[in-house]
Amino acid sequence: MRITKIAPAQSFEREFDGIATDKSISHRAAIFALLSSAPCEVEGYLMGEDTLHTLHIARELGLGIEQKGNVLRLIPPRNGICEPHKVLDCGNAGTGMRLFAGLLSGVKGHFVLTGDEYLNARPMKRITEPLSAIGACINGRENNAYAPLSIVGAQLQPFDYKSTIASAQVKSAMILAGLQTAGQSRFYEPLLSRNHTENMLRGMGVHIQERECEDGGYEVVFEGLKETNKQLEAFKFQVPADPSSAFYFAVAACVLGAKVKLKNVLLNKTRIEAFKILESMGAKVAYHHLSSLYEEVGDIEVQGGSLKAVRVDSRIAWLIDEIPALSICFALAKGKSEVYNAKELRVKESDRIHATITNLRVMGIRCEEFDDGFSVYGGELKRARVSSFGDHRIAMSFAIAQLACGGEIEDSECIDVSFPHFLTLLSQITAVENANES
The residues annotated with a catalytic role in the active site are: 321
Helices 323-332, 273-281: crossing angle, 10 deg rounding: 10
Helix ranges (DSSP H) in 84-185: 94-104, 125-133, 141-144, 168-178
8 Å CB contact between 159 and 183: no
For residue 309, give the nearest of 209, 379, 248 by alpha carbon. 379
Instruction: Let me know the angle formed at the C-alpha of 66 by 62 and 70, rounded to the nearest 5 degrees.
Output: 130
Look up residue 36 and give its DSSP letter: B
CA distance 438 to 436: 7
Q: DSSP string covering 166-204, please?
A: --HHHHHHHHHHHTTSSSEEEEEESS----HHHHHHHHT
Buried b (16+ CB within 10 A) or exposed e, 135-146: ebebebeeebeb
CA distance 54 to 93: 8
C-alpha count within 13 angstroms, C-beta hemisphere, residue 396: 31
8 Å CB contact between 296 and 289: yes
